[in-house]
Amino acid sequence: GAGVSQSPRYKVAKRGQDVALRCDPISGHVSLFWYQQALGQGPEFLTYFQNEAQLDKSGLPSDRFFAERPEGSVSTLKIQRTQQEDSAVYLCASSLEYRGPPGELFFGEGSRLTVL
């Protein structure tokens, strides 16, 4: 596709359920980022991939959060045993560059997770 695609767009989970959020970046983009955006807040960094390598996962809030990008393209963010505080919009962004002066991040529309 032409842009970054995220699915599902909306997810309602009961507390304790596991969820998986998918990101399909722009073809050929090396870098992939996951951000969490709480209501009324800016995007908060979760994790970063360069191709299939997860270079930084310092933003993952707990060990219930796990992300992977096994073939260097599609990425999945998994949240185990969801809690109400996990309710947020999860944003995926990709970028062609991985070194040197940074270019533009291309964002998907996000996956809105509501935990009841």
Partner 1 sequence: AQSVTQLGSHVSVSEGALVLLRCNYSSSVPPYLFWYVQYPNQGLQLLLKYTTGATLVKGINGFEAEFKKSETSFHLTKPSAHMSDAAEYFCAVLVAGGSYIPTFGRGTSLIVHP
**Residue 102 binds partner 1 (CB under 8 A):** yes
Which residues are within 8 A (CB) of 19 and not within 5 positions of it... i.e. 6 or more apart? Answer: 11, 13, 78, 79, 82, 113
SS3 24: strand
Task: Please state, in angstroms and rounded to a whole number, the distance separating the CA atoms of residues 87 and 66.
Answer: 16
Among 26, 29, 33, 113, binds partner 1 (CB under 8 A): 33
CB 73 within 8 A of CB 25: yes
Task: Please state, in angstroms and rounded to a whole number, the distance separating the CA atoms of residues 23 and 16.
Answer: 23
Among 26, 48, 111, 115, binds partner 1 (CB under 8 A): 48
Q: How far is the CB of 66 from partner 1 (least distance, A)?
A: 19
**Residue 43 binds partner 1 (CB under 8 A):** yes
How many positions of this chain bind partner 1 (CB under 8 A)? 28
Among 77, 105, 113, 115, binds partner 1 (CB under 8 A): 105
**Burial label, 49 (beta-carbon count in 10 A; 0-12, 13-18, 19+):** buried
**Residue 98 binds partner 1 (CB under 8 A):** yes
The residue ranges that bind partner 1 (CB under 8 A) are 3-4, 31, 33, 35, 40-45, 48, 55-56, 91, 93, 97-99, 101-102, 104-110
